[in-house]
Amino acid sequence: MLNYLNAHRFANPRSLLTVFIVLVLFLTSGCGLFGAKKKIVVPQLLPGQVAGRDRLFQEVNRFSTVTSIHGKLDIQFEDTSFATSGIADQYRLVDGDITVQRPGKIYLIIQFLVVDIAQMTSDGEQFRVAILKGDDKYRRFVKGTNNAVYKKLDEVDMPTPASSKNQKKGEKETVSALSNLRPQHLTDAFMIRPIETNGSLFYAQSEFFQEEPDTRRGAQKNTRVMRPYYVLDEFSQAQGGEAKLMRRLWFDRVSGIRLARVQSYDDRGALVTDVAYFDEKQLGAGPTASLPSRIEITRPQDQYKLNITYQDVSSVELNRPYPPKPFVLENKWGLQEVDLDAVNKKVTANK
């Protein structure tokens, strides 16, 4: 028994040295329990202002003091039809001449190289869109009702004539995109509806934190921050006491309280419009107001996105009264007319 213990006590020194070296390497390596760790950068939480519902109401309602806007725009249209696969077709930057007036009136001229390619109006109830650019088969005069739901005007509604088989695909896509643009979507974005406190709507305030790129002046490239928001949900009460979400308003809390985003929903609770506001500046030369100088409008169901920027904030006209006539576009070009309400009735009758 004694000899057995002595044999193991004096084992081969080389074997012991090998075990010791392996153990040291394991404990000091990067994959070991006490090895070096990867450094993780945590986004900085930006300090946020504290405000109650009355302050949020005040921020929204200050927009309603502006009764009309007229100005020159840069408009970037983006077709998001293939957004699910990560593809978005961007169309050429165009010029816009816009006139909006409460409640719900708009007259928009879209130009490229000083040539009108489209005009559109809405009087608050009906809209009209004139497509003036492209082959005769592409040019059209579309009219319909603001609150109605229509299918997208696709290739079936816009056949390609034999004479234009070699025409650039971009022109056809652009005309199709403009045909599906609805002027009242811009009216709602520029003329924000004020908060109603008469009892027909009710509101709920909450807090939200969102990780975003750091856009502050002097921020390092690719730096991200955690930005605090207040979210104000607007509900209407349907029959049977069921609450229905109408709008969701986002307020940036950094360096004050600023309305940053307005989301609108349909009767089924689906998102129909998502409007983001950026770069607030003093607009106007006569009457002035502090308003966003860039507006981004996303219509997920209509599959398009608009990025709109004022060309010159000092030349914007505010609070000028306009008569009703300019907001009802007439087909003075003799274009082929597409009455979307009549098309809907025909489809319903066939069914």
**pLDDT tens-place string over residues 230-253:** 999 999 887 777 889 999 999 999
Judged by DSSP in three states, 107 sits in: strand
Quick one: pLDDT at residue 101?
96
Half-sphere exposure of 290 (CA within 13 A, CB side): 8
Structure tokens at 136: 């005769």
Distance CA 247, CA 249 (A): 6
Joined together, the tokens standing for residue 254 give 């950094």
**pLDDT tens track for 319-328:** 999 999 999 9
Residue partners of 63: CB distance under 8 A and separation at least 6: 191, 192, 194, 259, 291
Task: Name the helix (H) or strand (E) containing 152.
Answer: none
- As a whole number of angstroms, the distance between CA 175 and CA 138 comes to 7
SS3 50: coil
Instruction: Determine phi and psi for 342, rounding to 5 degrees.
Output: -65, -40
CA gyration radius, the chain = 30
Q: How far is CA 4 from CA 13, 16, 39, in A?
A: 17, 18, 52
- Across the range 90-99, mean pLDDT stands at 86
pLDDT at 163: 43
The helix (H) or strand (E) run that includes residue 238 is none
Contact 276, 264 (CB under 8 A): no
Q: Per residue in 181-205, pLDDT tens?
A: 788 889 989 999 999 887 788 999 9
CA atoms within 13 A on the CB side of 269: 7
For residue 332, the model assigns a pLDDT of 94
Which of the pair, 124 or 155, is modelled with greater confidence?
124
Residues 195, 203: contact at Cβ < 8 Å? Answer: yes
Q: What is the mean pLDDT of the chain?
A: 82
Is the distance from CB of 98 to CB of 226 less than 8 angstroms? Answer: no
Residues, the chain? 351
pLDDT for 219: 79
Separation CA 227–CA 45 (nearest Å): 6
